[in-house]
Amino acid sequence: MKSSLRENHGIARIELASVGSYGWQVRLQCRGQKVSRFFADRTYGGIEASLQAARHWRDEQWELWRRSDAPRTCVTSPRNASGVVGVSRVIVRSSTGAIYHFWQATWCPAPGQRQSVKFSVKKHGDSIAYHLAIEARRIGIGEIPLNGDSA
């Protein structure tokens, strides 16, 4: 997991001379869970040592989350107009000014990868395109097997 993170991902330098606070702040969020910790230069013996401690702690947190069996948080947001996580209505305007309406399904087949498929409202009609997008997402996340294959 460590190699997939930028060197200082989630780590910021804090220098507040007015209160004598110098160090590195680690802030992370994964699956709706947030963690934060401050690594003071004075406590760890200097800027480089506190940075190394911050990186080490950050990497441990990512490893804990990576190994967790907890499923990814997938709840419907108040901003979600479709009522289905990962399914949205998309309107595309071409360079000629033509407007196209689609229902789109989006999912992540693996960490760092995103997959999506669109279904034309013009071709299928609104209701069928919507249901095709729902089915495509369910297949994409492995909720239902592709082509009726047994899981």
CATH classification code of 2-67:
3.30.160
pLDDT at 50: 97
Residue type at position 81: A
pLDDT, tens digit only, all 151 positions of the chain: 444 568 889 999 999 999 999 999 999 987 677 899 999 999 999 999 999 999 999 999 988 877 776 555 555 566 777 778 889 999 988 888 899 999 999 988 877 788 999 999 999 999 999 999 999 999 988 887 766 555 4
pLDDT at 72: 54
pLDDT at 144: 79
Report the distance separating Cα 55 and Cα 94, nearest Å: 45
Where in the sequence of the chain do the CATH 3.30.160 domains occur?
Answer: 2-67
pLDDT at 42: 96
pLDDT at 75: 59
pLDDT at 151: 47
Using only C-alpha atoms, the chain has a radius of gyration, in whole angstroms, of: 22
Q: Strands across the sheet with 99-107, in order?
A: 87-93, 99-107, 115-120
